[in-house]
Amino acid sequence: MTAGMLNLLTSKQRKVYVAIETFIKEKGIPPTVREIGEMVGEKTPGAVQGILNRLEQKGVIKREMGMARSIQLVNNSLLYESSVFIPEVKKITIRNADDITGLYNIVKYHPVSASLVAPHSDCFLIKCPDNSLLSKGISYNDMLIVSTSAQLNDGDIVLVLYENITLLRYYYSGNDENTITLKADSNLLERDSFRKDEVRIIGKLIAKLTKFN
């Protein structure tokens, strides 16, 4: 809401608006009339409805009549970043590599800032499966955002499938058109040159989400 629109509201209307805004930010869904009443200390549903009617008349919210949780904030201030929902997948194997985001492989969808993944599409989240790029600050504690459609350049970090094992590696073009080079901090595989038909590049790492305990 712009400062000018905010000044048009009474203190009660402003209190209800802020309660709605806070609820949506925390829960991801609009509150019900009863929930708004509990948040602002208003026990009478009719009184809450009256305030909502006036907020709608003033153009700061809009609703679909007859539908629960239909309150939408009318916000022209560009204060909030738009988000996209990215699927978190359970695992990647030879059997599901062609359908990673299939229904039965999705754990849940996570809201992520649209600017974090733009301009990439076809992204998914997966728990870090490999601890071989610690020098890059990537560990088992991270959630990785991987794009399956991003163009690859030398030095990019990629998620690859090798002998049904998912690994993180630095990608480099090979010595010829049939090979690629995949490097890590520790060379547990005792090699870094692979034929293209030996490995499957799942996608490019474009971001990671880290939770500090």
Looking at residue 116, which CATH number applies to its domain?
A: 2.10.109.10
Helix (H) or strand (E) holding 207: strand 199-210
Last residue in a domain, options 50, 73, 96: 73
What's the confidence (pLDDT) of residue 78?
Answer: 46
Find the DSSP H helices in the chain.
Answer: 3-7, 11-27, 33-40, 45-57, 114-117
Q: How many domains does the chain have?
A: 2
What's the confidence (pLDDT) of residue 70?
Answer: 87
Q: pLDDT of 4-13, one tens digit each? A: 566 788 999 9
Q: pLDDT of 167-212, one tens digit each? A: 999 999 988 889 999 999 877 778 899 999 999 999 999 999 998 7
Extract the runs of DSSP E, i.e. beta strands, from 35-176. 61-62, 72-73, 83-89, 106-113, 123-127, 142-147, 157-162, 165-173
Both 182 and 130 in one domain: the answer is: yes
DSSP-based three-state secondary structure for 30 = coil
pTM for the whole structure: 0.64
Both 195 and 165 in one domain: the answer is: yes
Both 12 and 53 in one domain: the answer is: yes
The tokens 């969808």 sit on which residue? 109
Q: What is the distance between the alpha carbons of residues 75 and 84, in angstroms, rounded to a whole number?
A: 18
What's the confidence (pLDDT) of residue 6?
Answer: 66
Both 103 and 156 in one domain: the answer is: yes
Q: pLDDT of 74-133, one tens digit each? A: 865 445 566 788 999 999 999 999 999 998 999 998 888 888 888 887 899 999 998 889
Expressed as residue numbers, the domain containing 143 is 83-210
Both 37 and 142 in one domain: the answer is: no
Q: What is the distance between the alpha carbons of residues 186 and 107, in angstroms, rounded to a whole number?
A: 31
With respect to residue 97, please indicate whether it lies within any of the assigned structural domains.
yes
With respect to residue 78, please indicate whether it lies within any of the assigned structural domains.
no
Both 94 and 194 in one domain: the answer is: yes
Distance linking the first and last C-alpha atoms of the chain: 35
